[in-house]
Amino acid sequence: MSMIFVGGSREIFELPEPAITRIGAIAAAEHGVLIGDAPGADAEAQGLLAGYGYEHVGVFHAGKEPRNNLGDWAAYHVPAPEGAEGYWVHAAKDGEMARRADFGMMVWDGASPGTAVNVFRLAIANKPCVIYDLARGSMATTYNVEDWCAMLRHVDPDIRRQAEARMTPDERLALPG
């Protein structure tokens, strides 16, 4: 059973039809799903999987309890480092999902630096990630850091700067010179 890291932007409250179809195919193939507990794309994908009655899902969360666990699945607490605030509260959780995953599937609004960093985490490990880019109305697959850089060529340079600011020092080392 392959493990798929499913996620996306918190500003997405309706999944595109191709992503819905892909999530259905993931469930039909009985792959494991690793998913966060955020509102937006995470909760939308959770709702879809719960509607299927799909069981092979693990919900990762940084807080004491998941913010969303719509299928009452196994929950995996990945605590934030002491004193972490903002994005850094969820960085360890997101990194753990990328580490455990064999593949990724992200629904991106074309602006979320957090989603871009999650794609980067998969790219560092040469794990394929299918990205549904709602801003461009396109779908692409990244396989490595070069593909990630190509994904960001079409966005405002500030988005890449924000994504890089959310990377750990070790992750930044994987960026091309």
Tens-place pLDDT, residues 57-112: 999 999 999 999 999 999 999 999 999 998 999 999 999 999 999 999 999 999 99
- pLDDT at residue 177, rounded to an integer: 80
pLDDT score at 89: 94
Residues 6+ apart with CB under 8 A from 67: 37, 38, 39, 61
Q: How far is CA 17 from the centre of its chain?
A: 18
- CB crowding 130-164: b at 16 or more within 10 Å, else e: bbbbbeeeeeeebebeebbeebbeebeeebbebbb
CA separation for the pair 128, 141 (Å, rounded): 7
Q: Could you read off the pLDDT of 130-161 as tens digits, one per residue?
A: 999 999 999 999 999 999 999 999 899 999 99
Q: What is the structure's pLDDT at 24? A: 98
pTM given for the model: 0.96
Q: Burial-class residue 58 by CB neighbours within 10 Å (0-12, 13-18, 19+).
A: middle
Q: Would you say 58 and 65 are in contact if contact means Cβ atoms under 8 Å apart?
A: no
Write out pLDDT tens, residues 15-39: 999 999 999 999 999 999 999 999 9
138, amino acid identity = S
Q: Residue 176 class from Cβ within 10 Å (0-12 exposed, 13-18 middle, 19+ buried)?
A: exposed
